[in-house]
Amino acid sequence: MKWLKSTTQKSWVASCGGKQVVIPQAETSDNRWLQLNEDEYAEISKTPVIASLIKANGIMVLSEEPAELRNSIPALQVTNTQLQADLAVAQERIVQLEAQLKDATHVDIEAIKAEVRQQCEEEKNRALEELDAKASALIEEKEATIRKLGKKLKKLGGDSSEE
C-alpha cells in the first residue's frame, strides 16, 4: 500500500484504473491521504506530471500508514472504546479465574491433606503389623530355642524347676 499527499496547498487529480483520483492538499480538516495499492500506484506514477511531482517532492509518498491517520481523534475514540470493552471483559475474567483458583486451591489442599493423612495412617498400620509379625516370629523362635534348651537341661541335670 502507498499513501499520497501533496506537500503544498494544491490538490492534484490523476487518472487511475479508468477513474479520477484526487491527491489531497497538505492540510485538510480530516487529514486525508490518497491510499493506493501497489498496482494503482505503479499506474499513477507512470503519468509524467505525477512522476515529476513525486521526484521533486511535490507529492509525498509513504509506504506505511501515516501516524496522523492512526492517531486521529475519531480513530482514537474507536480504539479507546474497543480497548475499554476488552479491559472490562479481561477484568471480569480475572475475577472469575481468581474465584476458581481460591475454590480449587482450598478444596484441593484439604483433599490432598486428608489423602496424605490416610495414606500415612495406612502405611503406619502396615508397618506396625509387619513389625508385630516379625516380633512374634522372633519371640516364637526364641521360645522354641528356650524349650529345646530346657529339655536338654532336664536330660543333663534333671533340673525340674523350669516350667
One pLDDT digit (tens) per residue for the chain, 163 residues: 998 999 999 999 998 888 899 999 988 877 788 889 999 999 999 999 999 999 999 999 998 888 776 667 777 888 889 999 999 999 999 988 888 877 765 666 677 788 999 999 999 999 999 999 999 999 999 999 999 998 988 888 765 554 4
pTM of the model: 0.43
| 79 and 56, same domain (yes or no) | no
pLDDT at residue number 142: 92
pLDDT at residue number 163: 47
Give the residues across from 61 on adjacent strands: 4
- Domain count across the chain: 2
- Point out the domain boundary residue: 10, 37, 70: 70
| 85 and 99, same domain (yes or no) | yes
| 148 and 129, same domain (yes or no) | yes
| 102 and 34, same domain (yes or no) | no
Place of cell 521533486: 56
- Point out the domain boundary residue: 40, 70, 100: 70
Domain ranges, residue 108: 73-163
| 56 and 87, same domain (yes or no) | no
Q: What does the buried/exposed string (b/e) look like for 32-70 if buried means 16 or more CB atoms within 10 Å of the residue's CB?
A: ebbbbeeebbeebbeeeebeebbeeebbbbeeeeeeeee
| 65 and 78, same domain (yes or no) | no
Q: What digits encode the pLDDT tens for the residues 62-88?
A: 988 887 766 677 778 888 899 999 999
pLDDT at residue number 128: 92
Provide the grid cell at 102: 481460591
pLDDT at residue number 105: 59
User: Average pLDDT over the chain, rounded to whole?
Assistant: 86
- Point out the domain boundary residue: 70, 100, 128: 70
pLDDT at residue number 112: 79
| 17 and 94, same domain (yes or no) | no
| 17 and 62, same domain (yes or no) | yes
Residue type, 26: A
